[in-house]
Amino acid sequence: MTRTSYLTLDNIYKSYDGLTNAVEDVSIDIRKGEFISFLGPSGSGKTTTLMMIAGFEEPSHGGIMLAGNDLTRTKPWRRNIGMVFQNYALFPHLNVIANVGFPLKMRKRPPAEIAERVKRTLDMVGLSSFAHRLPRELSGGQQQRVALARGLVFDPDVLLLDEPLGALDKNLREHMQFEIKRIHQELGVTMIYVTHDQTEAMSMSDRVAVFNKGRIEHLADPLEIYRYPSTKFVGEFLGDSNFFTGGLAADGTFSADTIGTVRITPAERARVIASRIELLVRPEQLQLIEPGQKDEFNSFDATVRSTVNYGDSLLIMAGLAGQALRLRVRGESQVPAVGSTIRIGFRPEAGRIVPAHP
């Protein structure tokens, strides 16, 4: 455990059936006040990891520490951890006040304190005028605010949120992302946020843990993951990508199966750990090369297959034998005709070496 770690997961494994691991070798040091996202596809072990932090599941191996105390086998209600679920999980027969006050009642707090804290928390999530309604008299977004208030009302050490906005439409989801970030900043409470939505993880988090098959494949701040994904899986899951398969040539260049010799930086060359590797180039790093333009690029010809003009940017889908390409060009560029040949290039420093799938 590092000195700055507040919540520590130490080498956690979880098997439900004794045969396969739902979570495997997960270790994280989370700082106090940090906003960390667990990002990954369905079935990658995000919820299982959250359930072990909350105490609803016990690790098959490994330990969980919070502020220096071993929590691994502590009952959920003895941990000071709040939880918000995707399906809200509100009590249908209790009004907003009673739903939000429930965790305080469980903790046997005096009624005056409960009333005061519930009021303060409802103010914070903007629900004061709905205090006497039942859950079914609220919209989905309002119900999720109630769930958020219930998770926060007892001043938790950590708030866990499991795909809390998954059931909301896009506009409301973006609005709630801002709200959750505002509350995070206001309270400074440590938050762990599970999502399969990469833009959500990118926009909200101090750090992102990318889960794949029960393991954390990359843990870093969002931009670092975007720029230097640790594996092909991470590069594909976070952001849009082009991949060139190939190997390192004797002269230190990358030899791509489809476009031939590609110059890469010495730093990338040092990352090569296998004979067959992939070179990742983000769509905004590919550019159109004008005839006669000075060749500081790795460049090659391709055929335009389709285009999408977003107004502020142009997406070009192009290709050559065995190689699909996506370019994102900024501004009011001229739209190349489908079927025409374009010259595409990227700077050596735009290429990232990633190992292929194990």
Ligand X SMILES: Nc1ncnc2c1ncn2[C@@H]1O[C@H](COP(=O)(O)OP(=O)(O)O)[C@@H](O)[C@H]1O
Smallest separation (angstroms) from ligand X to the CB of 333: 39
CB-neighbour burial class of residue 39 (10 A; exposed 0-12, middle 13-18, buried 19+):
buried
* Using rule CB under 6 A, residue 91 touches ligand X: no
132's CB contacts (< 8 A; 6+ apart) are: 95, 96, 97
Q: State the residue number with the nearest CB to Mg ion.
A: 47
42's CB contacts (< 8 A; 6+ apart) are: 196
Say how far apart CA 234 and CA 59 lie, in whole Å.
25
Residue 262 amino acid letter = V
From 36-44, 102-110, 175-183, 264-272, span contacting ligand X (CB under 6 A): 36-44
350's CB contacts (< 8 A; 6+ apart) are: 281, 282, 285, 286
The closest alpha carbon to 104, from 74, 77, 76, 66, belongs to 77
Smallest separation (angstroms) from ligand X to the CB of 158: 18
Smallest separation (angstroms) from Mg ion to the CB of 241: 25
* Using rule CB under 6 A, residue 28 touches ligand X: no
Residue placing its CB nearer to Mg ion in the complex, 59 or 283: 59
* Using rule CB under 6 A, residue 39 touches ligand X: no
* Using rule CB under 5 A, residue 8 touches Mg ion: no
From 44-52, 127-135, 205-213, 237-245, span contacting Mg ion (CB under 5 A): 44-52
Binding site partner of 22, from Mg ion, ligand X, none, Cβ cut-off 5-8 A by kind = ligand X
Smallest separation (angstroms) from ligand X to the CB of 54: 12
- Structure tokens that stand for 112 in this block: 């005056």
Smallest separation (angstroms) from ligand X to the CB of 346: 34
H or E, element range at 191: strand 190-195
Q: What angle do CA 119, 67, 196 make, to 5 degrees?
A: 70
Binding site partner of 287, from Mg ion, ligand X, none, Cβ cut-off 5-8 A by kind = none
Binding site partner of 45, from Mg ion, ligand X, none, Cβ cut-off 5-8 A by kind = ligand X
Binding site partner of 43, from Mg ion, ligand X, none, Cβ cut-off 5-8 A by kind = ligand X
The closest alpha carbon to 33, from 178, 175, 152, 192, belongs to 192
Residues 324-343 that bind Mg ion (CB under 5 A): none
From 46-54, 164-172, 224-232, 237-245, span contacting ligand X (CB under 6 A): 46-54
CB-neighbour burial class of residue 286 (10 A; exposed 0-12, middle 13-18, buried 19+):
buried
Residue placing its CB nearer to ligand X in the complex, 14 or 117: 14
* Using rule CB under 6 A, residue 22 touches ligand X: yes
Say how far apart CA 46 and CA 195 lie, in whole Å.
8
DSSP string, 12-23: EEE-SSSSS-SE
* Using rule CB under 6 A, residue 43 touches ligand X: yes
* Using rule CB under 6 A, residue 7 touches ligand X: no
Residue placing its CB nearer to ligand X in the complex, 19 or 250: 19
Residue placing its CB nearer to ligand X in the complex, 133 or 215: 215
* Using rule CB under 5 A, residue 44 touches Mg ion: no
- Residue ranges of alpha helices (H) inside 69-164 are 96-106, 111-124, 140-152
Say how far apart CA 87 and CA 90 lie, in whole Å.
8
- φ/ψ region of 93 (left if φ > 0, alpha if ψ in -120 to 50, else beta) reads alpha
* Using rule CB under 5 A, residue 47 touches Mg ion: yes
From 39-47, 198-206, 243-251, 336-344, span contacting ligand X (CB under 6 A): 39-47
Question: Site residues (CB under 5 A) for Mg ion?
Answer: 47
Q: Please give the residue ranges that form the binding site for ligand X (CB under 6 A).
A: 16, 22, 40, 42-48
